[in-house]
Amino acid sequence: MNERLITHLRHVDLAVPDYDKQLDFYTTMWGLTTETTDDGLAFLAAAGSPEQYSVRLRKADEKRLDLIAFGAANPADVDAIAERLGRDGVRLVTEPGKMQTPGGGYGFRFFDNDGRTVEVSCDVAVRAHRKVEAGESVPVKLSHIVINSPNPEATVAFYQRHLDFGLSDTLHSPHRGEVMWFLRTNRYHHSLAISRGPFVSLHHASFEMRGIDEYMRGTGRLLRAGVEKVWGPGRHMAGNNTFSYFLDPHGNTIEYTTELEQLDEDTWHPHLYDFSDPMVTDQWGTANPMSEFVAKKSFNDPDRGVFVAPPV
């Protein structure tokens, strides 16, 4: 593609066995609001986002990452992406058409090389949203998604070739080689990152807060409530964003962040950062050290839903 047709990240969809517990956590603790509910479905919105929802929960027997959704500017771009994917032999789940999810719109779904279901859509109705006020420790929007892949080089190449994602930075270590690739689809440092993992799974989903004060207030609220912290608070070097990682009730790692770097794409050159350097993982030096515990929690559980499209 000569022009980048993917505009932004829309939402992440999760299948959860204990639906009521997850719904309560994401609303009363994490700070999302329930926009629409149905039998075993909840569409959860971030206060400052025009997206109809940032997280979709579906009651299911097994935990899995159902879907990652991205936006496009118009139907012509959606059609162009679908046509290119089909021409290149990528397996489409649905052909471009009218969306049946909240907000409607026009889009389609496909499997990436690891078997995740990915959606691309446009013309979704804008949700009535608001400015998050000073001191409000609720997510403004979904910031980015990080996924685990046992063959990350191929997954990075898939998103670069087929969807024109740009490489912002890469993490490596002397012992493990390259381990994480940060990919962007607009001026923000990353909306998607690919991590080397033992199996296909969700690494974490990250939510943007209004600012440092709101980020710390949210972090403190979860700590006081006894929500298990994985890592943080701190500030990464790649992306220059803050981080506090926690576990939801089903063991998915989720993050509060803020101040994700915005790049000048015309002049940006990707860095290769050695994450064995403590300054790379945490510039502040306030987070607990990177450890086997942190890595294991980030691996999550194997996703048993690969190459199986979600029912919704």
Q: Which domains does the chain have, with CATH numbers?
A: 6-122 (3.10.180.10), 141-299 (3.10.180.10)
Instruction: Say what the pLDDT of residue 160 is.
Output: 98
Instruction: Say what the pLDDT of residue 88 is.
Output: 97
Instruction: Say what the pLDDT of residue 163 is.
Output: 97
Reported confidence tier of residue 51, pLDDT bands at 50, 70, 90: very high
**Residues 154-176: tens digit of each pLDDT:** 999 999 999 999 999 999 999 88
Instruction: Say what the pLDDT of residue 74 is.
Output: 98
What residues does 41 pair with on adjacent strands?
Answer: 38, 58
- Interacting residues of 93 by C-beta distance below 8 A, sequence separation 6+: 108, 109, 110, 111, 117, 309
Reported confidence tier of residue 1, pLDDT bands at 50, 70, 90: very low
What residues does 214 pair with on adjacent strands?
Answer: none
Reported confidence tier of residue 35, pLDDT bands at 50, 70, 90: confident
pLDDT at 36 over 90: no
Which is more confidently placed, 28 or 293? 28
pLDDT at 34 over 80: yes
**Residues 74-104: tens digit of each pLDDT:** 999 999 999 999 999 999 999 999 999 999 9
Reported confidence tier of residue 114, pLDDT bands at 50, 70, 90: very high
Rounded average pLDDT over 122-145: 97
Q: Percent of the chain scored above 70 by pLDDT?
A: 99
Averaged pLDDT of the chain? 96
- Report which of 50, 66, 41 is spatially closest to residue 145, judged by C-alpha positions: 66
Please report the beta strands in the chain, taking only residues with DSSP state E, as ranges in sequence order: 6-16, 33-38, 41-45, 55-59, 64-72, 92-98, 106-111, 117-122, 141-149, 166-173, 177-184, 192-196, 201-208, 229-235, 242-247, 253-257, 271-274
pLDDT at 269 over 90: yes
**Residues 171-192: tens digit of each pLDDT:** 999 988 999 999 999 999 999 9
CA dihedral 55, 51, 66, 146 (to 10 degrees): -80
Q: Report helix, strand or coil for 309.
A: coil
